[in-house]
């Protein structure tokens, strides 16, 4: 059998056959849109129970993908599957997909946490494939690029953790800040998914901003699972998400105390240098607005020092860098494609 490096080199010269399961939810739609335009991908299968039997272009407004939507979870002959499915569904199918030779990019939370016990604690159900936890690699590309090159099971991070971790991990890993962190984050309503609910009803969400999950949000556990290994001391994290009346976009404002004796300029320089090296990180001289990254796979960052506190703001498109785009970025790394292939780095303004 060929080793993984050989397979990756071979794949880099060929086109991948890709599938999207859960293709008519917001994240699935974004996956389909990006994969259909990707220079190294042939999108061959789209699955969606509620629209099965219809052409995708009929089920999703504005799409020019003309594939008939399939039912169930049978992928056919594919090299990679993007699973934009409810929690536990992808985990229940992942082993079969892997055994069939497909790389799995899971867009749900099924493999983001440390183990099955932690998953059960936060999601209230028994994990259907605990044997796969050791095989999964967390898909935050900027922090896990080397491990992703050989991974066949990629856990795409949540949208809030994406912004929060890009804002915090560099400083934590360098030891320049104390591990007491506050993350205040705000997301548009598409982050709640496409299924209707009272909280995202127009009359409930319009002209209103509200905090939720204050007593404990699932994404806090995901953030801590990545922050703790990055810090020399135990991490204290306060995370409060907010729903704001816009469709797309997520802004995280992160507060960290600068370590004793640390030059504030050294912390800012750390983020500037990181953004210079990374194709999808951008350093802004002032706190970035969400509109500046809309539709792109870019995370825009700014660092400002207020007294002894470092304030890092991070803006992303929650459906692109916070979901589908990040999954495709991980795919590009895994198969040796150009990391920017099929992904936008510019946003329309205004």
Q: Write the pLDDT tens digit of every residue in 239-280.
A: 999 999 999 999 999 999 999 999 999 999 999 999 999 999
Give the pTM.
Answer: 0.94
User: Which sequence spans correspond to the domains of the chain?
Assistant: 4-135, 160-318
Q: Using 50, 70 and 90 to split pLDDT, how confident is the model at 45? A: very high
Q: Using 50, 70 and 90 to split pLDDT, how confident is the model at 14? A: confident
The per-residue pLDDT for 3 is 53
pLDDT tens track for 109-159: 999 998 999 999 999 999 999 999 999 999 999 999 999 999 999 999 999
DSSP code, position 126:
-
Q: What dotted CATH number matches 160-318? A: 3.30.360.10
The per-residue pLDDT for 123 is 93
| 105: region left, alpha or beta (phi > 0 left; psi from -120 to 50 alpha) | beta
Assess whether pLDDT exceeds 70 at residue 4: no
- pLDDT greater at residue 76 or residue 255: 255
The per-residue pLDDT for 350 is 87
Assess whether pLDDT exceeds 80 at residue 327: yes
Q: Which helix (H) or strand (E) holds 229?
A: helix 218-230
pLDDT tens track for 297-307: 999 999 999 99
Mean pLDDT, rounded, of the chain: 94
The per-residue pLDDT for 8 is 53
Distances in Å between the alpha carbon of 173 and those of 118, 178, 230, 233? Answer: 24, 11, 5, 11
The per-residue pLDDT for 6 is 47
Distances in Å between the alpha carbon of 216 and those of 114, 119, 299? Answer: 17, 14, 25
Taking residues 56-83, what's their average pLDDT? 95
The per-residue pLDDT for 189 is 96
CA 95 from chain centre, in angstroms, equals 22
For the annotated catalytic residues, the residue numbers are 159
Assess whether pLDDT exceeds 60 at residue 231: yes
The per-residue pLDDT for 1 is 35
Q: Which residues contact 348 (CB under 8 A, 6 or more apart)?
A: 294, 295
Assess whether pLDDT exceeds 80 at residue 46: yes
Question: Residue 299 has which token pair?
Answer: 């995370």
Q: What dotted CATH number matches 4-135? A: 3.40.50.720
pLDDT tens track for 188-202: 999 999 888 898 999
pLDDT tens track for 169-224: 999 999 999 999 999 999 999 999 988 889 899 999 999 999 999 999 999 999 99
Q: Which helix (H) or strand (E) holds 184?
A: strand 177-187
Which percentage of the chain shows pLDDT scores above 70? 96
* Residue 292 contacts residue 349 (beta carbons within 8 Å): yes
Q: In what order do the strands lie in the sheet with 153-155?
A: 41-47, 16-21, 80-83, 103-106, 153-155, 137-138
The per-residue pLDDT for 12 is 54
């Amino acid at each position: 059998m060929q080793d993984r490096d050989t397979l990756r080199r071979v794949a880099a010269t060929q086109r991948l056959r890709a599938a999207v399961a859960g293709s008519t939810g917001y994240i699935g739609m974004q996956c389909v849109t990006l994969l259909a335009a990707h220079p190294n991908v042939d999108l061959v299968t789209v699955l969606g129970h509620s629209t099965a039997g219809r052409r995708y272009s009929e089920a999703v407004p504005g799409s020019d993908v003309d594939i008939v939507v399939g039912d169930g979870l049978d992928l056919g002959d594919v090299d990679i599957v993007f699973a934009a499915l409810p929690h536990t569904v992808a985990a229940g199918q992942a082993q079969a997909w892997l055994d069939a030779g497909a790389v799995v990019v899971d867009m749900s939370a099924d493999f983001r946490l440390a183990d099955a016990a932690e998953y059960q604690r936060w999601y209230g159900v028994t994990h259907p494939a605990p044997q796969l936890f050791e095989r999964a690699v967390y898909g935050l590309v900027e922090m896990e690029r080397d491990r992703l090159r050989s991974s066949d099971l990629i856990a795409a991070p949540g949208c809030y953790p994406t912004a929060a971790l890009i804002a915090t991990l560099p400083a934590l890993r360098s030891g320049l800040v104390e591990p007491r962190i506050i993350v205040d984050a705000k997301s548009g309503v598409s982050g709640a998914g496409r299924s209707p609910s009272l909280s995202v009803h127009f009359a409930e969400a319009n002209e209103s901003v509200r905090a939720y999950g204050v007593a404990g949000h699932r994404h806090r556990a995901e953030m801590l699972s990545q922050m703790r290994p990055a810090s020399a001391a135990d991490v204290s994290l306060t995370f409060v998400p907010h729903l704001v009346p816009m469709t797309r976009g997520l802004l995280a404002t992160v507060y960290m105390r600068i370590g004793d004796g640390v030059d504030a300029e050294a912390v800012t320089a750390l983020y500037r240098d990181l953004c210079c090296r990374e194709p999808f990180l951008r350093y802004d001289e002032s706190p970035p607005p969400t509109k500046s990254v809309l539709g792109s796979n870019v995370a825009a960052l700014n660092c400002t020092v207020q007294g002894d506190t470092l304030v890092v703001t991070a803006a992303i498109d929650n459906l692109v860098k916070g979901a589908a785009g990040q999954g495709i970025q991980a795919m590009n790394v895994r198969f040796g494609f150009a990391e920017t292939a099929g992904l936008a780095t510019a946003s329309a303004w205004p």
